[in-house]
Amino acid sequence: MPLDHTPYPRGGKVPRQYLRTLDPFVALTAVAAATETLLLGVGACQITQRDPIVTAKRVATLNRLSAGRVLFGVGADWNRAEVEHHGTPFERRFGVMRERVEAMRELWTRDVASYSGRYVSFGPSWQSPNPLRYPLLVYVGGNGEQVLDRVLCYGDHWMPNRERADETRIPDLRRRAEETGKERPEVTFFGADLDRVTPR
């Protein structure tokens, strides 16, 4: 889900729904104010395009305003131009995603957080609010060859694209989680059919 912009395509058209997306954090804040029980899913936040400190603050704020209803999904993005417009080398996007998620977790769970990595680095910092219910679970999106490694390394749940999901991988994910002493990951399929909505 492109969050901020869609580069003009060099060959072919971009799916129309990508051109009409709202900022998820602004839109979900409006939804949070108008509902009481609806879960608020971000799937998938292209974290390779977002500053982790600012994003950690936005996710935690939305989580607080919604009484803990946020489901936070992340992805590395498939659109080379879009990723690179944000300063992330396309071939390094998975490493960038890992460090940004890890850095956000530090900000959410520690009174004084710091992080030192190849792509993300900041000294001792204090950030508030913390998520209302934490650890705030991170859903790792994707169907690639190494996605299960990513879920087990720095995610909590797997969010494969329904159209390309291989359900035989779910038992493998859960077996590996058990072997490493990690909580049993849930699997949430991403990608619902589009329904035409008639304006009132």
- The CATH number that applies at residue 107 is 3.20.20.30
- pLDDT digit string (tens) for the chain, length 200 residues: 445 666 666 555 666 666 677 888 999 999 999 999 999 988 788 899 899 999 999 999 999 999 999 999 999 988 888 888 888 899 999 999 999 999 999 999 999 999 999 999 999 999 998 887 667 889 999 888 899 999 999 999 999 887 666 778 999 999 999 999 998 898 888 765 666 666 55
Q: Is residue 189 one of the residues assigned to a domain?
A: no
The Cα 86–Cα 92 span in angstroms is: 13
The Cα 140–Cα 158 span in angstroms is: 5
Q: Which residue range is the domain that position 111 belongs to? A: 16-179
At residue 84, the pLDDT reads: 85
Q: Is residue 5 one of the residues assigned to a domain?
A: no
* Number of structural domains in the chain: 1
At residue 65, the pLDDT reads: 93
Q: Do 128 and 30 meet the contact criterion of CB atoms below 8 Å apart?
A: no
Q: Is residue 187 one of the residues assigned to a domain?
A: no
Which residue, among 10, 8, 30, has the nearest Cα to 19 in the 3D structure? 8
What stretch of H or E contains 64?
A: helix 52-65
Q: Is residue 111 one of the residues assigned to a domain?
A: yes
The Cα 191–Cα 24 span in angstroms is: 16
pLDDT in tens, 16-33: 666 677 888 999 999 999
Q: Is residue 48 one of the residues assigned to a domain?
A: yes
Q: Is residue 6 one of the residues assigned to a domain?
A: no
